[in-house]
Amino acid sequence: MTTRSETRTALDHLLTEIEHRNPAQPEFHQAAHEVLETLAPVLAARPEYAEPGLVERLVEPERQVIFRVPWQDDQGRVHVNRGFRVEFNSALGPYKGGLRFHPSVNLGVIKFLGFEQVFKNALTGLGIGGGKGGSDFDPHGRSDAEVMRFCQSFMTELYRHIGEHTDVPAGDIGVGGREIGYLFGQYRRITNRWEAGVLTGKGAGWGGSLIRPEATGYGNVLFAAAMLRERGEDLEGQTAVVSGSGNVAIYTIEKLAALGANAVTCSDSSGYVVDEKGIDLDLLKQVKEVERGRVDTYAERRGASARFVPGGRVWEVPADLALPSATQNELDENDAATLVRNGVKAVSEGANMPTTPEAVHLLQRAGVAFGPGKAANAGGVAVSALEMAQNHARTSWTAQRVEEELTRIMNDIHTTCHETADRYGAPGDYVTGANIAGFERVADAMLAQGVI
């Protein structure tokens, strides 16, 4: 039997090879390190995973598509963006993962997101593979007509690579209901098919699922609540800091309030707001979802209880819980030290990889319950898979049924991560538990299907 030390050495060699084969992709390197550094125990215990080059296949996407996206603005000027779709692993089902429209998007970012998605989707138990896509297009400040023209151009290439049994994209940063509508319309126009299951995050009146917009934020709060219950506490009366002010953050704040906690912050790239009375959700939705404004507008309208801190770090605000819900690597080691000094009890990731590796290790050493994104924010993709199920049956579930399913799935993910961590000698380590549990599910399917 291979020893754990020998396995660790082999994984280190593989990580070096990943960096060599994928230059200038730091986010993908970070994601690969985060997963592979926890796999030595399972590979030592189950050597059959090492024999067919399984891990080597797992870290290489099955398909990577890069394409040109030309479009015209309202003044008739032509712009050219770059589109991506990385279909990472389909051992458990069709590729599933969002589309991100943001200037920071590049191949390395999409590969990191797709790699994370493989394990996240496996944890849901819903038979979906992992993928991700997007473009370096920035929808902020663009008219509806400009966004429509971009989405139509983007789908004109993407359509040939997706399908309800092949690859099912959804939304992500910069891609909400408006963008999904334009993308679906162009897919339908090109293919002459009403294939509702090809995209998720659709409008409720034309194939979408109730609770889908809320699912990522709701699910993250449910996971945080499960971590607290494991420690003999609940959310009632707890104070929370939430970063971001998009879809995930808004519904994180909403679910915290529903379960008796008080979220006192929100943020965007301009800075953050701290509201002593707790975030006024109706006002935040008006500013961000209707007016597409900035959080300083929220502070101006809210009155004396709220103040805007330009360029600040939301993690400076003392709280019992922290829920990073904006973007990758937004919470660093210094932020983690500040949270620990202020007595934080739990950190649960609503965004994808928002906490740097150094910050994760500091939080874990301090005894803070830490919920990694691939487990804690799996609610969004879980309800996307439930939307696919409704599309397949040409039916629509009630909001109550969807939320009950979401609650069950998030509690099951927590239990799976907790029990797997215990089984491999890392009690309370949700990072190890999530990585190994997700890996085992994908690895078993890959072994069964042969070297492909």
* Span(s) in the chain for CATH 3.40.50.10860: 63-194
Phi, psi of 263 (to 5 degrees): -85, 125
Q: What is the pLDDT of residue 51?
A: 84
Of 260, 250, 259, 265, residue with least CA distance to 222: 259
pLDDT tens for 142-156 read 999 999 999 999 999
Q: How far apart are CA 283 and CA 326, in angstroms?
A: 19
Q: What is the pLDDT of residue 1?
A: 55
The 3 state secondary structure assigned to 292-310 is: CCCHHHHHHHHCCCEEEEE
Let me know if domain 63-194 sits in CATH 3.10.580.10. no
SS3 category, 315: helix
pLDDT tens for 313-334 read 999 999 999 999 999 999 999 9
Long-range pairs, 69-77, Cβ under 8 A, ≥24:
69/135, 69/137, 69/150, 69/153, 69/154, 69/157, 70/153, 71/146, 71/149, 71/150, 71/152, 71/153, 72/149, 73/142, 73/146, 74/143, 74/145, 74/146
* pTM of the predicted model as reported, rounded to 2 decimal places: 0.95
Mean pLDDT, consecutive 10-residue segments, the chain of 452 residues? 80 96 97 95 92 95 98 98 98 98 97 97 98 97 97 98 98 94 98 97 96 97 98 97 96 98 96 97 95 94 96 96 96 98 98 96 98 98 98 97 98 98 97 98 98 95
Strand locations in 176-312 (E)? 239-242, 262-263, 265-268, 271-275, 306-310
Q: For this structure, is 374 an active site residue? A: no
SS3 category, 172: coil
Give the tokens for residue 223. 């996971």
SS3 category, 114: helix
Distances 24 to 21, 59, 222 between C-alpha atoms, Å: 10, 16, 36
* Span(s) in the chain for CATH 3.40.50.720: 215-376
Distances 54 to 1, 38, 194 between C-alpha atoms, Å: 17, 16, 37
Kindly give the pairing relationship between strand 167-171 and strand 78-89.
unpaired
Query: Which of the residues 132, 255, 345, 374 is marked catalytic?
Result: 132
Q: What is the pLDDT of residue 2?
A: 66
Pick the CATH number of 215-376 from 2.70.98.10, 3.40.50.720, 3.40.605.10, 3.30.43.10: 3.40.50.720
